[in-house]
Amino acid sequence: GKGAFNGCKGLTSVSFPASLTSIGDSAFSGCKGLTSVSFPESLTSIGESAFEKCKGLTSVSLSRCTSLTSIGDWAFYECTGLTSVSLSRCTSLTSIGSWAFSGCSSLTSVSFPASLTSIGKGAFNGCKGLTSVSFPANLTSIGERAFNGCDNLTSATFADATGWAVYRDYGYGIYGRDSYIQQSDLQNPATAALYLRNTYSEKFWKKN
């Protein structure tokens, strides 16, 4: 439940039952001694700030989480020891919350499932170790600042590079649209990465 182990700094390991379906908001927030977590197949949701500032966390195993549908806002915020996240087998996952992995400065790799449709605002903000990302064809939105501060991101591959446009923060309708992004630009991994981390990093991305 919510805040169940919040601030348990001496906690170094946790074993979840096969029947677990959800982890509440801030459930393990601030558990700095926690080094690794393995989730069961039954898990459907990870709550807001669930593992926020678990700075000792180096490994998160989601490879069996075929039922996972959402990762909440700030879920792994400032988990500075986290090096890799594999979501490719989370075949029910559709959304990654705002600031979910923001400040994970040691994160070097992340893989997304084909089911993913949205990446929230600031989701990977400040992930300076991230060098490449590959987006599935079903992805339709990327929030503002999602990859801002990813200084070493040099390659971004879009499975579907058609119909993308960027919008101003205050409006996502036709009047809030800044510009369309050329398909040819997004088909170039280096250019796409530049747009994500710099040129259009402050904008909301949407595939029309």
Q: What is the pLDDT of residues 136-173, one digit of tens each?
A: 999 999 999 999 999 999 999 999 999 999 987 555 55
Question: For residue 92, what pLDDT is reported?
Answer: 94
Q: Which of 145, 91, 136 is nearest to 118 (CA)?
A: 136
CA 20 to chain centre: 22
Read off the pTM. Answer: 0.93
pLDDT > 90: what percent of the chain? 85
Tokens 């490449």 found at: 132
Question: For residue 192, what pLDDT is reported?
Answer: 98
CA 171 to chain centre: 23
Stretches in the chain below the pLDDT threshold 70? 169-177
Question: For residue 177, what pLDDT is reported?
Answer: 66
Question: For residue 172, what pLDDT is reported?
Answer: 56
Hey, what are 79's tokens?
A: 């988990």
- Cα dihedral sign for 144, 145, 146, 151? positive
